[in-house]
Amino acid sequence: MAAVSTLSFNPAIVCCSRSGLSSNSHNTKAHFDSKKRILDVGMGLLAASVMALTPLEADATRIEYYATTADPPCDLSYARSGLGFCDLSVGSGEEAPYSELINIHYTARFANGTVFDSSYKRGRPLTMRIGVGKVIKGLDQGIFGGQGVPPMHVGGKRKLQIPPELAYGPEPAGCFSGDCNVPANATLVYDINFIGIYSGNRK
């Protein structure tokens, strides 16, 4: 199998408007917003509130998905929502807590295997709030659980295949001047490593 390719994103690209910014006075804000937009798109932190959940019948067929040549085969199960999931390893720690901050590492790919974002590349895990609609529906359900998907436990590793209905739907995401990081109706694949529960929750 061919090696997985990786998209290269220029953090200087302005991602906040399709038409771009015409004034040089906006350059500093644009640079900051563009960096945030790339991270937000990767972890599904954009437009989560407007993505309507379209229930889909469970697909009884199990398939094997190979993310890279180094990954073991992953036998996906499907929730009624259409979310595909499988555990590469089940954690022995606490369950993902509702509405609290958790720390995860992740790699995000398109269905063809192309990586479009990864916390590993940045060298640090991501802290995110789970279960309350702060991320796309597929990530909330895939980590917190529900509709037949068991919750992840600290230390666990899980693969998620997220259909467009649970991701960004018919609209592209992270767009600037017609160039979008995530195309419309994209199926996304996430490899999640649940590192731990953020200690600041319980101070």
Task: In whole angstroms, give the CA distance from residue 111 to residue 58.
Answer: 19
pTM of the model: 0.69
Give the residue, 41 or 2, on which the prediction is more confident: 41
- What pLDDT digit, counting tens, does each position of 26-77 carry? 444 444 454 455 456 666 654 333 333 233 332 322 233 333 435 557 899 9
Q: What is the pLDDT of residues 83-132, one digit of tens each?
A: 999 999 999 999 999 999 999 999 999 999 898 889 998 899 999 999 99
Asked, for residue 19, whether it belongs to a domain, the answer is: no
The answer on pLDDT for 79 being more than 50 is yes
Instruction: Show the tokens assigned to 147.
Output: 């509709």
Count of the separate structural domains present in the chain: 1
Residue 87: the pLDDT is: 96
Which domain covers residue 33, as residue numbers? 24-202
142-200: per-residue pLDDT in tens?
Answer: 999 999 999 999 999 999 999 999 999 998 988 877 788 899 999 999 999 999 998 87
What tokens appear for 61 in the block?
Answer: 């067929």
The reported pLDDT for the residue numbered 155 is 97
Is residue 7 assigned to a domain? no
Q: In the numeric block, which tokens belong to residue 142?
A: 């895939």
For residue 17, being part of any structural domain is answered with: no
What does the pLDDT read at residue 198? 87
Sort 4 into a burial class: Cβ within 10 Å, 0-12 / 13-18 / 19+: middle
Residue 71 in contact with residue 113, Cβ under 8 Å? no
CA dist 161 → 30, 165, 198 (Å): 32, 12, 25
Is residue 10, in this structure, part of any structural domain at all?
no
In a domain, 8, yes or no: no
On whether residue 13 sits in a domain, the answer given is no
Query: CA-to-CA distance for 159 and 67, rounded, in angstroms?
Result: 9
Distance CA 184, CA 20 (A): 20
11, part of any domain: no
Give residues with Cβ within 8 angstroms of 68, minimum separation 6: 3, 4, 113
Is 14 among the domain residues? no
For the domain that residue 135 is a member of, what is the CATH number?
Answer: 3.10.50.40
